[in-house]
Amino acid sequence: MEEAGALASPESGRRLRELGVIEQRSLLLLAALRSFYVALGSFASATLVSLLGAMLAPMDAGVPVLVLGVVGVVAGLIAVGTLGHGSGVLVRDTRLLVQVLQERAASVHARAVPRGDPMA
């Protein structure tokens, strides 16, 4: 496919489109992975901060308990938000993959079934 003449064929055009989709998918997967790592860290932080707040609550440490509660809720919201973002990115990736597979299947069917075949 690297030869100049080979790039003009319909097959090489399809392969170039697939290469572009693969590049796009790799970036989407990296973004999803990053989101899941942030979500994991945020869930862990929310848990730790909430446990610290629960330990301080019986000691009537008013302001620190309130601050830890707010920090725990914010970390939990970040975790849920980034988990949702990562899931949405994976849905976009899946749509791209299905589109490529449908195009490839149509290409294979077009080459495998003779034109005008009543059985197709």
From the number of C-beta atoms within 10 Å of its C-beta (0-12, 13-18, 19+), residue 38 rates as middle
CA distance 94 to 2: 29
Token pair 């299947």 is found at 105
Taking only the tens place, the pLDDT of each residue in 95-119 is 999 999 998 888 888 888 776 655 6
pTM: 0.75
pLDDT digits (tens, 9 = 90+) for 45-100: 999 999 999 999 889 888 999 999 999 999 999 999 999 999 999 999 999 999 99
Please name the residue that has the structure tokens 């949702």: 84
pLDDT tens-digit series, residues 27-45: 999 999 999 999 999 999 9
